[in-house]
Chain A
Amino acid sequence: MEKQKTKISEIMQEKDKTVRDKKYNKYVKQVTPTFSTLKNCVAAYIVGGIICVIGQGLTNFFLSRTGDIELAKSYTTLCLVFMSVFLTGIGIYQKIAKFGGAGTLVPITGFANSVAAPAVEYKKEGQVFGIGCKVFTIAGPVILYGIFSSWVLGLIYYILKQIGIV
């Protein structure tokens, strides 16, 4: 599977610093233990799946109460976000995330956690410079590029519509 193992002697004899660093990085990659991808995928599938099942259950519940699917979806989102923020606050969410990985990151609960965690951490630095400035340190890129890419897509959609393709 691996092409060729980098040997320590090669690194130490290398005079060119750039080449040496490259070789060292390759060597480090060989000797650093990594997670099993399969195990991670299974854990993410289970945890992510459970979150989605809870979400679906909530949607079904609200749909039967209101009869409006859009309303039911909004209530579901609200509930999941609250759940995530609450679990973050009492220090449980990161324990689930440690096991579930992407399974907790991808659903909306992961987004909520990434906003709640800095809010808790930076509260000590004040309402403005603490929470205000730093609440989106992790979620910020998602928000910025999410809005930006939806704007670009909207523009493309508009142009395609104008020339009659869609």
Chain B
Amino acid sequence: MADNIHVNKSSANVSNETNDAKTAGKQSVAFKNPPYIIAAASIAGKKEGEGPLGNLFDKIVEDPMFGKDNWEAAESELMKMTAQHVLTKAGLENSDIRYLIGGDLLGQLIATSFGIAELEIPVFGVFGACSTMGEAMILGATLVEGGYASKVMAITSSHFAGAEKQFRFPLDYGNQRPYSASWTVTGSGAVIISDRQGQKKKDDEPDIVITGFTTGKIVDYGIKDSMNMGAAMAPAAFETIKQNFEDFVITPDYYDRIITGDLGYVGKNILLEFLKEKNYDITKQHMDCGIEIFNQEDQDTHAGGSGCGCSAITFASYVLKQLKERKWKRVLFVPTGALLSQVSYNEGKTIPCIAHAVMVEAR
């Protein structure tokens, strides 16, 4: 139970805090009334559908263009479909959602702006690269718990072709991807965060709540290779996870799973080594969405999946399912983002990275 978490108040550096403070440690928050995740939806592309999690997604769309003319319109359509689907699953209308917090990878959040325009829900657009789902869920839960909204939707999307076009090469260009390169997931995931319990399919189904979070700092260990984003992001994940342990005075076994977003095979090993050095062994608990979502051998995805959609659809399908079936009780969901742009890359800059940790519990 969140109430039982012993929060590290001593290091909280705000002087006027009382014992009622919801802040924990240096970078975290422990909610007094943890908001509920009442519904989730995940829509994925063909390749993701053929992956190990394929049968868990709500919908698989075979057409990479989603019936549209270009990749940007395709991703916008994908996000709209997901937003509508999560509303249907929750049995809600657009007008029931107070705020929508969403983001994607395309320049100036093309998919979010165009995709959800016609839903007419008040929107906060956020950018955290592939960590966007974490950021959206944190902000959504905070608004709900603070009493500023009753229901908030957190949504993100990514599209393989759109991301390749924006960050790498045109799709038809013949080049060889290094083993450390990741494969951007075509998919969109959404959750609805509410101050009240949702309807349940079964009586014994647990409530899924967000008990707290740790906000990440920008972490940059000087990696410049955009084809090795796992290595660039691993230190960011390390800092955030370590901070979460410190802020809540807990050890890794507090969680059944610690789920990073898209570190892939290269980044995963670096993260585990870093944490071991600080005497935190998370080998047993750790899981990476980028590794889970594809079959590395058969699907030729090299380091694993990436993109906003990667962690979002894995969370909305696989992770929530495990929590609902009480296979896991507590998870730390840590989407990771590489905040590079085409311009900063061309200017020879390093890749700044971020990771946000969301504490999710079945109770």
A contacts, CB < 8 Å to B: 8-9, 11-12, 17-18, 20-22, 24-25, 27-28, 31-35, 40, 88-89, 91, 93-94, 96-98, 101, 104-105, 110, 113-114, 116-118, 120-122, 124, 137-138
Encode contact with A along B218-259: 1 for CB under 8 Å, 0 otherwise: 001111000010010001000000000000000000000000
Contact of A97 among B165, B171, B176 (CB under 8 A): B176
Chain A contacts for B180, CB-based, 8 A: 32-33
User: Out of A31, A91, A96, which one reaches B266, CB within 8 Å?
Assistant: A31
A89 cross-chain contacts in B, Cβ below 8 A: 172
Closest Cβ of chain B to A35, distance in Å, is 7
Among B178, B231, B276, which residue has the most Cβ atoms of chain A within 10 A?
B231
* Nearest B residue to A120, CB-CB: B172
What is the count of residue pairs linking A and B with beta-carbon distances less than 8 angstroms?
101
Where chain B touches its partner, the secondary structure class is: loop
- Contact between chains at B172 and A94 (CB < 8 Å): yes
Interface residues of B in 263-315 (CB under 8 A from A): 266, 269-270, 273-274, 276-278
B153-199: which have CB < 8 Å to A?
A: 165, 169-180
Across the interface, do A21 and B350 meet the contact criterion of CB distance under 8 Å?
yes
- In Å, the complex CA distance between A122 and B298 comes to 31
Asked if B170 and A35 sit within 8 Å, CB to CB, the answer is no
- B70 at the A interface (CB under 8 A): yes
Q: Are A20 and B173 in contact (CB under 8 A)?
A: no
Q: Roughly how many angstroms separate A118 CA and B171 CA in the complex, as a whole number?
A: 8
Cα A21 to Cα B70 in complex, Å, equals 40
Which of A11, A31, A34, A138 makes the CB contact (< 8 A) with B173? A138
The number of chain B residues with a CB under 8 A from chain A is 32
Q: Are A124 and B69 touching (Cβ within 8 A)?
A: yes
With A27-B270, A94-B171, A94-B174 known, 10 other A-B pairs at CB within 8 A are A11-B221, A32-B179, A33-B266, A40-B176, A91-B172, A97-B175, A104-B174, A114-B173, A120-B170, A121-B170
A117-B231 in contact (CB<8A): no
Q: How far is the CB of A60 from chain B (nearest CB, A)?
A: 27
CA distance A124 to B69 in the complex (A): 8
CB closest chain-B residue, reference A33: B179
Task: Please report the C-alpha to C-alpha distance between residue A25 and residue B220 in the assembled complex, in whole angstroms.
Answer: 11
